[in-house]
């Protein structure tokens, strides 16, 4: 094991240890917030695999998050499926949607890919509204507390919910680390840096990009399904453009192409908006100013700048 790999494992292990220990020291308000942040950070990690490591800018990732959310929610509300199987249904739904979108959207590239993914996401959002009889449209629907039980554990209980969110985050983190350190991940980075040269070396670039889309969609769907079960709500707002922009902001703030960047970015943005809203109703103005300053003075994101200046080994 190389020195850089040891440092990487030590850092990521320390982050998981801090998150685990937070359960025992945080007050109720921040305890609940951190559980939400971990799920949203898992979603951002899925986005980061596609954007940060493969170089594909998507503006339609809310479609995958919503596919997991509604795949889980409709399985429970319409077919009386238990929490565990419903979670699996959500991941499968997101993976299938990712495969379909990947086959179609990857016929384009660059700005066209970004626009096509946005169009598909909007089509998904409108579909949810159209089938309001089942999805309840903008109003959404609540998942009853008795249904939010997995392996005998009540997921509406704050402590259980925190550890469930922590488990999802661990899965996302380990998956991303495994991908980044693998041959597959190295090829994705090569595609990001120089797609033509990667293809010239004999790699099937389209196949690798398609795999990245599907993997990213699966992880985003897992986050969506987990969010619905843990917080008991399924709504069309999670399929809107806003939830396609959020992961992009989180990844850019934390550092695109860094494994822990999505967590840092999500945590920073979540509390920036939370604290700003306590000062003024124009809280997005404060958030916007801070984001502009970060973009100017830390263009590679918080962890991206740390990697550039201090920790060269950061994955």
Domain boundaries, the chain: 27-241
Going by their DSSP bridges, the two strands 153-154 and 149-150 should be labelled as antiparallel
Q: Would you say 239 and 63 are in contact if contact means Cβ atoms under 8 Å apart?
A: yes
- Mean pLDDT, residues 16-42: 94
Q: Would you say 39 and 227 are in contact if contact means Cβ atoms under 8 Å apart?
A: yes
Instruction: Find the range with the poorest average confidence among 60-69, 217-226, 265-274.
Output: 265-274
Instruction: Find the range with the poorest average confidence among 52-56, 103-107, 170-174, 304-308.
Output: 304-308
- Mean pLDDT, residues 183-187: 95
Query: The tokens 């550890």 sit on which residue?
Result: 163
CA dihedral 177, 182, 187, 190 (to 10 degrees): 50
The pTM score is 0.95
pLDDT band at 8; cut points 50, 70, 90: confident
Instruction: Find the range with the poorest average confidence among 125-129, 144-148, 164-168.
Output: 144-148
Contacts of 86 (CB under 8 A, 6+ apart): 71, 72, 73, 75, 76, 225, 229
Of 162, 136, 152, the residue nearest 226 (C-alpha): 162
DSSP for residue 26: S
Q: How much is the pLDDT for 224?
A: 97
Rg (CA), the chain: 19
Contacts of 179 (CB under 8 A, 6+ apart): 49, 53, 185, 188, 215
pLDDT band at 1; cut points 50, 70, 90: low
Q: How much is the pLDDT for 265?
A: 94
Is residue 261 over pLDDT 80? yes
């Amino acid at each position: 094991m190389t020195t850089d790999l040891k440092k990487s494992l030590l850092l990521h292990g320390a982050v998981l240890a801090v998150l685990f220990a937070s359960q025992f020291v945080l007050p109720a308000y921040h305890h609940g917030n951190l559980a939400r942040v971990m799920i949203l950070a898992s979603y951002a990690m899925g986005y980061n695999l596609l954007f940060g490591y493969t170089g594909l800018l998507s503006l339609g990732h809310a479609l995958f998050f919503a596919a997991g959310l509604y795949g889980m929610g409709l399985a429970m509300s319409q077919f009386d499926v238990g929490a565990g199987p419903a979670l699996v249904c959500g991941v499968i739904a997101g993976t299938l949607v990712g495969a379909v979108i990947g086959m179609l959207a990857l016929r384009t590239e660059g700005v066209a890919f970004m626009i096509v993914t946005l169009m598909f996401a909007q089509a998904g959002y409108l579909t949810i509204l159209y089938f309001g009889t089942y999805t309840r449209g903008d109003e959404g629907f609540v998942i009853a507390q008795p249904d939010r039980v997995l392996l005998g554990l009540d997921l509406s209980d704050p402590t259980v919910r925190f550890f469930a969110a922590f488990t999802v985050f661990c899965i996302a983190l380990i998956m991303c680390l495994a991908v980044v350190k693998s041959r597959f991940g190295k090829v994705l980075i090569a595609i990001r840096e120089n797609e033509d040269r990667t293809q010239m070396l004999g790699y099937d670039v389209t196949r690798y990009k398609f795999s990245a889309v599907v993997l990213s969609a699966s992880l985003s769907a897992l986050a969506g399904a987990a969010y619905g079960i843990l917080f008991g709500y399924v709504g069309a707002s999670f399929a809107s453009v806003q939830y396609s922009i959020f992961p992009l902001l989180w990844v850019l703030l934390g550092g695109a192409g860094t494994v822990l960047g999505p967590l840092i970015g999500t945590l920073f943005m979540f509390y920036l908006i939370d604290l700003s809203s306590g000062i003024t109703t124009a809280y997005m103005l404060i958030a916007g100013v801070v984001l502009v300053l970060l973009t100017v003075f830390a263009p590679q994101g918080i962890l991206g700048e740390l990697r550039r200046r201090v920790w060269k080994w950061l994955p």
